[in-house]
Amino acid sequence: MAVNFKGPFRLSAAIGSRMAAGDGGSIINISSIGSIRPLPAYAPYAGAKAALNALTTAHAVEFAPKVRVNAILPGSFRTDIARHWPADKEATTDAVVGRFGEPEEIVTTALYLASNASGFTTGATVRVDGGRP
């Protein structure tokens, strides 16, 4: 809870208030597909990320109209943590693209949300999960 919810909450509350009083901006929370597709093996993590999704919606309203607040919900990506997963885990992924994501595949979503191109996007949770059912 401290890392996955309390930290982002405190930062978003402090920075969002300053941004709203100033020139505005964009806050991007990193949630997880697990927040909407929880499994018993990681229920506390999923709960913290679900709380982060709710915070995203609430802060989008609180800091509007100058600050946009959105969340990215990644699926399985090849990160440092993924190196420790079993070798056959990717073969059993339920992502319809049939593989894990590459880190650079999430960058475009973050760039969109950070840019003025997303000026009409706030309070959104954007799935970047390879089309998991």
- Residues labelled as active-site residues: 45
pTM: 0.94
Q: Which domain holds residue 12?
A: 2-128
Q: Looking at the domain assignment, is residue 121 inside a domain?
A: yes
Tens digit of pLDDT for each residue in 69-120? Answer: 999 999 999 999 888 999 899 999 999 999 999 999 999 999 999 999 999 9
Domain harbouring 106, CATH code: 3.40.50.720
What pLDDT, on the 0 to 100 scale, is given for residue 55? 98
Tens digit of pLDDT for each residue in 4-53? Answer: 999 999 999 999 999 999 999 999 999 999 999 999 999 999 999 999 99
Supply 15's token pair. 């920075």
3 state SS of 18: helix
- Alpha-carbon distance 103 to 47, whole Å? 24
Q: Looking at the domain assignment, is residue 133 inside a domain?
A: no
127 strand-pairing partners: 73
Q: Looking at the domain assignment, is residue 39 inside a domain?
A: yes
Q: Supply φ then ψ for residue 69, to 5 degrees.
A: -125, 120
How many separate domains does the chain show? 1
